[in-house]
Amino acid sequence: MLTTHASLETLPTPDGGLRLKLTGRLDAAATGAVWKQAQKVLAQRPSPHLLIDASEISTCDSAGIGLLVELGRRQLQAGHRYEITGLSEENQKLLNLFDPADFMDAKPEEPQCCSLPIEIGKASLSFWNHLITLVAFIGELVVALFAAMRHPRKVRWKDAFLIFERAGINALPIITLISFLVGLIMAFQSAIPMRQFGAEIYVANLISLSMLRELGPLMTAIILAGRSGSAFAAELGTMKVNEEIDALTTMGLDPVRFLVVTRLLAALAATPLLTIFAGMVGVIGGSVVLLTMGYPLITYINQVLSAVDITDLLSGLAKTFVFGILIAGIGCLQGLTTRGGASGVGDSATKAVVTGIILIVVTDGIFAVVYYYLGI
Amino acid sequence: MNDSSTPIIDVRNLTVGYGEGPILNDVSFRVHRGEVFIILGGSGCGKSTLLKHMIGLFRPYRGAIFLNGQDIVVAEGEQRHRILRQIGVSYQSGALFGSMTLLENVCLPLDEFTTLPRDAKDLLGRMKLKLVGLQGFENHLPSAVSGGMQKRAAIARAIALDPAILFLDEPSAGLDPVTSAELDQLILNLAATLSSTFVIVSHELPSIFAIADHVIMLDKQARGIIAEGLPAQLRDHSPDERVRRFFNRQVSSSTQGENATRSKESLHHE
C-alpha cells in the first residue's frame, strides 16, 4: 500500500516573507491534517508575501488543489500576495480553473439568521395563505360534491370502491385489535373498584355507553386519520410532485372532482361502518372480563341492552360523518398543497395526521357540548 | 494497478436481467483509461440496465465486471466500498436530495468519506459547483433550479471525491439543445482536466457525435452489442442496417410504409 502522507514545512525567506513547502500526497485522505496546520501557520505568522513550494508534491487531487486555493484566498483576504512555484503542469491546469478571488466571501448568501419580527411576519403570512387555500378548497369541494349529487353517474365509483376497500375494509384488523383491547382493559380496570361495591355488572353499562357514544367514534377516527389520512396526503402529494395533478388539470379533469370526491365518499362510507364495528368489538371485549368473573353472557347482554338505546348509537354515528369528511378532506388538501420533493411529501403526511387528529378531538368536544345542551 | 495500458473497465461475458429471462446476453467490452465511452441504443434495449449492473446496483446472472482491476460482482463488504469510492454516478433525473441545498448535496460524500475540516469541505464543494458552472447557486434547493442545473449539480456531486470512473445516465435527455450542448462541453472539459473515464448512457445523436471516443450499440432483439467503434465511422460504414438506421434517424422499414418515408429521408441527407 502506498503511503498516504503529506507534510508541511515552513521556512522564513531572506526578505521577511514565508515559504511553505508542501510534500507528499495531497489527496482527500491526507490533506485534512495539512489543511489545519497551514491555517494555523497563516494565522500565527501572517506574511505579506507567501511563497508556496509545490515541487515536492507527488500526487494531488482536488483536495490538494483546494488547499492551494484556500491558501491563496487567505492571503488575498488579508490583502497579501502569494506565489506558487514548482507545481506540475497538469495540476497547474487544474488550479487555473479556480480563481481564489471567486471564493472570497466566506459563504455566499448565507440564509439569514432568524429574527423574531421576520419570523412572526412569515408565520402570519403563511397562516393567512393557508386560510385562503383552506376556504378555496372547501368551496371547490362543496361545488364538486353538489355536482356529484346532481350527476351521480359522473362520479368515478370504481375508484371510490377501490379506495373504500383500501381505507375501510383493510383497516378491519387493526380496528378489531384496538377496540377489543380497549374494551377489555377498560372493563378490567373499572371492574376492580366496582367489585368493592358489588357493582361489577354496571361495567356493562360503562363499556357500552362509552364505546357507542364516545370511544368508538373517536378511536376509529384517530386510527383512520393515521392510516388513511396520511395515505391520501402521501399519494396526492407524490402525484403533485410528479406533475400528475398538473396533467389532470390540463386534460380538463378537475383534480378535486377526480381525486378528492372519490376519497371523501369512500371515507364517508367507511368511517360510520367501522365505528359500528369498533363499538361492537369493544363491547365484546368488555364481556370477556365479566364472563371470567362468573356472570353468564345473557346477563351481560341484557344489561347492555338496558343501558343503551338507539339514540346513543345514532348520536355516536352522527359524529363519524363529520370525522370522515375531516380525515379525507385534510388528507387530500395537504396532498394537493405539497411542495418540493420527497421531504415535502413527508411534511404533508405529517401535517395531515396532526391536523386531522386535532380537528377530530376539537370536533368531538363541540359535539359533546351540543349534545349536552340538546339533552341527548 | 494504475498502469495506463490496462483497460479501466473490463466487462466479460455478462448476462443480465431482472428475473424474467436475460435482457442482455453474453456481453463483453473494454473501456480504456481517459476515454469517453458511450453506451447507446434504442429505448428498452438495456442501456440503463447495463449501467446499473456496472455500478453494482444489481447482481448479474453471469459474468464479471472489473472496475480498475477489481470485480464488483463478487466484491463484498469493505472491498466493495473501496470499489464504489472510485466511481461517481449521476442518475437520469439527477437524484439530488430534495431537502438539501446544492452545496450540501455536493458536500455529503466529502462529509462522509473524508477527514477534511469543515471549511475545506465547503470550499471543495464550491469549487466543484464552480466547475459545472453553478457558482452562486450554492444555497438553492434542487427544486428551485432548472432541470439542466439539477443535472449539472448531480455531476458535481458525482465528481466530489475525484472518481476514476464517472457514470452518467442520459445526462442530456430532456434538455434543450443549447443546454444539452453546454453539458457536452462540460463533459469534454471535465474529461480533459480530471483525467477521469466517462461511461455515458445516451441516445442523443448530436451529443454522441460531439463527445464520444468509443461507443457500443445495444439492440433489443440481439440482446447484446451489435456495433462497436467510433460513431462517425459506424454511421457511414457500418454493415449493419440497424446501426445505420439509428445514426441516420431512419424509421424501420417494418414499422412504416417504406417508400414514402425512405425517399423523404434520403432527400434530406443528400
Reported ipTM: 0.71
Q: A156-160, A206-210, B123-127, B193-197: which has the minimum mean pLDDT?
A: B193-197
User: Is residue B121 one of the residues assigned to a domain?
Assistant: yes
* Segment A255-283 mean pLDDT: 94
Q: Does residue B118 sit in helix, strand or coil? A: helix
Question: Which residues 98-117 on chain A approach chain B with CB closer than 8 angstroms?
Answer: 98, 102-103, 107-111
Q: Answer yes or no: do A84 and A128 share one domain.
A: no
Cell of B168: 452518467
Q: A289-347, pLDDT tens digit by residue?
A: 999 999 999 999 999 999 999 999 999 999 999 999 999 999 999 999 998 778 889 99
For residue A372, pLDDT beyond 80? yes
Residue A197, pLDDT score:
92
Query: Which region among A197-201, A242-246, B77-81, B233-237 has the lowest average model confidence (pLDDT)?
Result: B233-237
CB contacts under 8 A, A 111-150 vs B, are: 111
Q: Which of A28, A90, A343 sits opposite B114 (nearest CB)?
A: A28
Q: Indicate if the pLDDT at residue B262 is higher than 50.
A: no
The CATH number linked to A78 is 3.30.750.24
Quick check: B196 and B7 in contact, CB under 8 A? no
Number of folded domains in chain A? Answer: 2
pLDDT category, B254, cuts 50, 70, 90?
low
The answer to whether the beta carbons of residues B184 and B150 sit under 8 Å apart is no
Instruction: Give the CA distances from residue B225 to residues A375, B101, B220, B243, in Å, rounded to whole numbers and listed in that order.
Output: 82, 40, 9, 11
A192 and A141 in a single domain? The answer is yes
For residue B268, pLDDT beyond 60: no
Q: Are residues A158 and A200 in the same domain?
A: yes
Residues of chain B with C-beta less than 8 angstroms from the C-beta of A73: 123
The residue written with cell numbers 383534480 in the block is A255
Let me know if residue A113 belongs to a domain: no
Residues A142, A274, single domain; the answer is yes
With respect to residue B111, please indicate whether it lies within any of the assigned structural domains: yes
> What average pLDDT does chain B have?
82
pLDDT bucket at A369, cuts 50 / 70 / 90 = very high
A196-210, B123-137, B244-258: segment of lowest average pLDDT: B244-258
Pair type for strands A49-60 and A18-26:
parallel
Residue A173 scores a pLDDT above 50: yes
The A residues from 78 to 97 touching B (CB cutoff 8 Å) are 90, 93-94, 97
Whether residue B4 is predicted with pLDDT greater than 80 in this model: the reply is: no
- Residue B218 Ramachandran class (φ > 0 left, ψ -120 to 50 alpha, else beta): beta
Q: Is the model more confident about A8 or about B157?
A: B157
Domain hosting B123: range is 94-161
Whether A112 is covered by a domain: the verdict is no
pLDDT-derived band at A110 (thresholds 50, 70, 90) equals: low
**What CA–CA distance (Å, rounded) separates B157 from B147?**
15
Residue-wise pLDDT for B6-60, tens only, equals 888 888 888 988 877 788 888 888 888 888 899 988 788 888 888 888 888 888 8
Q: What is the mean pLDDT of residues A194-208?
A: 92
Contact map slice: A 282-341 vs B, CB within 8 A:
339-341
Torsion, Cα B149 B154 B156 B162, to 10 degrees, reads -160
**Is A182 within the bounds of a domain?**
yes
The pLDDT value recorded for residue B261 is 45
Q: What is the mean pLDDT of residues A253-271?
A: 92
Q: Which residues of B touch A31 (CB under 8 A)?
A: 116, 120
Number of domains forming the structure of chain B: 1
Query: Which of residues 12 through 41 in chain A touch B, CB cutoff 8 A?
Result: 27-29, 31-33, 35-36, 39
Are A215 and A339 found together in one domain? Answer: yes
The better pLDDT of the pair A104, B97 is held by B97
Quote the mean pLDDT of chain A.
88
Residues A79 and A164 in one domain: no
Contact A62 B143 (CB under 8 A): no
**Residues β-bridged to residue B224:** B219
pLDDT reported for residue A362: 96
Closest CA in chain A for residue B126: A103
Q: State the best of B104, B162, B189 to mutate against chain A, taking most chain A CBs within 10 Å.
A: B162
Q: Does the distance separating the beta carbons of B98 and A343 come in below 8 Å? A: yes
State what percent of residues in chain B have pLDDT above 70. 91
Tell which residue, A31, A3, A20, A93, has the closest CA to residue A55: A20
User: How high is the pLDDT of residue B260?
Assistant: 46
Q: Please name the residue of chain A whose CA is at the shortest distance from the CA of residue B98.
A: A341
For residue A73, give every residue at least 6 positions away whose Cβ sits within 8 Å of its Cβ, in sequence order, or none: A100, A101, A103, A104, B123
Chain A residues with CB under 8 Å of B78 CB are: none
In a domain, B214, yes or no: no
Asked whether residue A207 falls in the same domain as residue A97, the answer is: no
Measured CA to CA, the distance from residue A38 to residue A187 in angstroms comes to 73
- B218 exposure class (CB count in 10 Å sphere: 0-12, 13-18, 19+): buried
Final residue of a domain: which of A76, A103, A130? A103
- Does A85 have pLDDT greater than 70? yes
Q: A111 lies in a domain?
A: no
A216 with A311, same domain: the answer is yes
Same domain flag for A89 and A126: no
Q: Please tell me whether residues A98 and A128 are part of one structural domain.
A: no
Residue A53's domain comprises: 6-103
A11: β partners: A19
Say if A1 is an interface residue toward chain B (CB within 8 Å). no
Mean of pLDDT values over B108-115: 84
Residue of B4, B104, B114, B194 to mutate when probing chain A, most A C-beta within 10 A: B114
Percent of chain A with pLDDT over 70: 97
Question: Is A94 within 8 Å of B193 when comparing Cβ atoms?
Answer: yes
Residues A98 and A125 in one domain: no
User: What is the rounded average pLDDT of the residues B160-166?
Assistant: 86
The band of A74, judged by pLDDT with boundaries at 50, 70 and 90, is confident
Q: Give a yes or no: residue B104 inside a domain.
A: yes
Per-residue confidence at A108, pLDDT binned at 50, 70, 90? low
B128:A62 CB<8 A: yes
Task: Specify the range with the lowest mean pLDDT, choosing from A336-345, B74-83, B240-249.
Answer: B240-249
Residue A169 belongs to a domain = yes
Average pLDDT over residues B231-247: 81
Query: Is B53 within the bounds of a domain?
Result: no
Q: For A71, name the nearest residue in chain B, comparing CA atoms only.
A: B120
Please report whether residue A47 resides in a domain: yes
Which range scores top for mean pLDDT: A227-231, B37-41, B93-97, B103-107? Answer: A227-231
A90 and A125 both lie in a single domain: no
Residue B154 belongs to some domain of the structure: yes
What was the pLDDT predicted at A179? 96
Average pLDDT over every residue of B246-268: 56
